């Protein structure tokens, strides 16, 4: 496994190392009997004091997570909980009660500790996100990830499919579950089926916000800006069905001079989400613009959440 430390984090470095080892065990990256890097190897890799690493290893040994023998590498202890052994609600409640009692023994109020724990859990979920939503542009991926975060109450990372296709290592190592639209499901499965626990296709639909906003273009000379030429017939038909446009619907692809000329020659523009940055940078101030927004199907998201996190 690969380690990293954040020198600016409020979490001490030895705890960061502990967290990463525990996380690797929880997702199956480390299993019972697997060796960890030696203290000297990790010292050289991270550039931190060996005593910091030793403290993390010794605490994990005292907690029964690691076994350490003189002159040999630390290993994951036998009997360590493996990822297929899903903890029960009663185990979680027992652990929570034990943690509260320990906190009160250190002088913390139980409610104060619970509040601090909730913030720490949310921060950990953000830094080591288990879920990613992969789409064909970073804008679209971030939009869908944001909608999924709102539906699930946990962090979901948005990721550009093109970046993934160029370098599969760009997927964060903490990722266990991947969502993508059915348009890209085959590509994502081809690249990631051996790297993550589950890949789910999600249905999407045009956002109500688009239907509400597109009527601003009625009666205007309206053009269409796209990234992908193969999508032109379908989107041109959609605009003509939904907007009372004046004349034809001219189309241009973003990133070339024709798109800029088009925006100078019409009164309104419909653009797809991958074109968001281009349109914002080049649209004249007087131009009426409307993004063709999509949203994930929330019934799909809820079904997938229940499958992945049944005790949530």
> pLDDT tens digit string along 75-118?
998 766 555 455 556 566 767 777 777 888 888 888 888 888 88
Question: How much is the average pLDDT of 280-292?
Answer: 94
State the chain's mean pLDDT as an integer: 87
pLDDT in tens, 128-159: 678 999 999 999 999 999 999 999 988 899 99
Residue bearing the bigger pLDDT, 249 or 173: 249
- Which pair of tokens denotes residue 202? 């999600």
Assign domain 1-85 one CATH number from 4.10.140.10, 3.40.1440.60, 1.10.3720.10, 1.10.10.10.
1.10.10.10
- What's the CATH fold of domain 208-292? Rossmann fold (3.40.50)
Distances from the Cα of 227 to the Cαs of 57, 94, 129, 251, in angstroms? 51, 53, 30, 10
Q: What is the pLDDT of residue 251?
A: 95
Residue bearing the bigger pLDDT, 127 or 57: 57
Q: What is the pLDDT of residue 84?
A: 46
For the chain, what is the largest distance between any 2 Cα atoms, rounded to a whole number of angstroms?
Answer: 82
Residue 285's contacts (CB-CB under 8 Å, 6 or more residues apart) are none
Question: How much is the average pLDDT of 287-298?
Answer: 95
Give the CA angle between residues 307, 311, 312 to the nearest 5°: 90
Domains 128-204+298-308 and 208-292 in one fold: yes
What is the percentage of the chain residues whose pLDDT exceeds 90?
49
Domains of the chain: which residue ranges? 1-85, 86-125, 128-204+298-308, 208-292
- Which pair of tokens denotes residue 131? 């879920």
Confidence tier at 119 by pLDDT (50, 70, 90): confident
Question: How much is the average pLDDT of 14-32?
Answer: 81
Q: Kindly report the length of the chain.
A: 312
Q: Which CATH superfamily is domain 128-204+298-308 in?
A: Response regulator (3.40.50.2300)
pLDDT of 121 above 90: no
Q: What would the DSSP string read from start to end of the chain? A: ------TTSSS-HHHHHHHHHHHHHHTTSS-TT-B---HHHHHHHHT--HHHHHHHHHHHHHTTSEE--TTS--EEPTTPPPTTSPPPHHHHHHHHHHHHHHHHHTT--HHHHHHHHHHHHHHHHHHT-SEEEEESSHHHHHHHHHHHHHHHSS-EEEEEHHHHHH-GGGS-TT--EEEEETTTHHHHHHHHTTTSSEEEEE-EEE-HHHHHHGGGGTTS-EEEEES-GGGHHHHHHHHHHHS--SS---EEETTSHHHHHHHHH-SEEEEEGGGHHHHHHH--TT-EEEEE-EEE-HHHHHHHHHHH-TT-
Q: What is the pLDDT of residue 89?
A: 60
């Amino acid at each position: 496994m690969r380690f990293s430390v954040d020198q600016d984090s409020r979490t001490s470095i030895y705890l960061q190392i502990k967290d990463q080892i525990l996380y690797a065990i929880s997702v199956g990256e480390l299993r019972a009997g697997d060796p960890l890097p030696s203290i000297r190897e990790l010292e050289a890799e991270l550039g931190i004091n060996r005593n910091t690493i030793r403290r993390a290893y010794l605490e994990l040994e005292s907690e029964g997570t690691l076994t350490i023998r003189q002159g040999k590498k630390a290993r994951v202890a036998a009997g360590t909980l493996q990822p297929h052994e899903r903890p029960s609600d009663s185990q979680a409640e027992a652990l929570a009660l034990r943690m509260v009692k320990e906190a009160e023994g250190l002088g913390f109020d139980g409610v104060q500790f619970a509040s601090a724990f909730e913030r720490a859990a949310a921060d950990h979920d953000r830094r080591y996100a288990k879920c990613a939503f992969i789409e064909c542009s970073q804008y679209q991926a971030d939009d869908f990830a944001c909608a999924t975060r709102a539906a699930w109450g946990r962090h979901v990372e948005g990721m550009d499919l093109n970046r993934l296709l160029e370098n599969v290592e760009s997927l964060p190592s903490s990722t266990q579950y991947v969502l993508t639209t059915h348009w890209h499901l085959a590509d994502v499965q081809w690249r990631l089926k051996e790297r993550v626990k589950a890949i789910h296709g999600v249905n999407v639909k045009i956002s109500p916000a688009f239907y509400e906003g597109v009527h601003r273009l009625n009666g205007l000379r309206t053009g269409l800006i796209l990234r992908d030429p193969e999508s032109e017939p379908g989107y041109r038909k959609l605009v003509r069905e939904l907007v009372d446009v004046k004349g034809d619907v001219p189309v241009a692809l973003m990133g070339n001079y024709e798109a800029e000329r088009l925006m100078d020659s019409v009164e309104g523009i419909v653009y797809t989400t991958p074109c968001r940055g281009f349109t914002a940078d080049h649209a004249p101030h007087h131009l009426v613009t409307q993004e063709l927004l999509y949203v994930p199907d929330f019934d799909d998201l809820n079904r997938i959440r229940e499958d992945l996190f049944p005790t949530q």
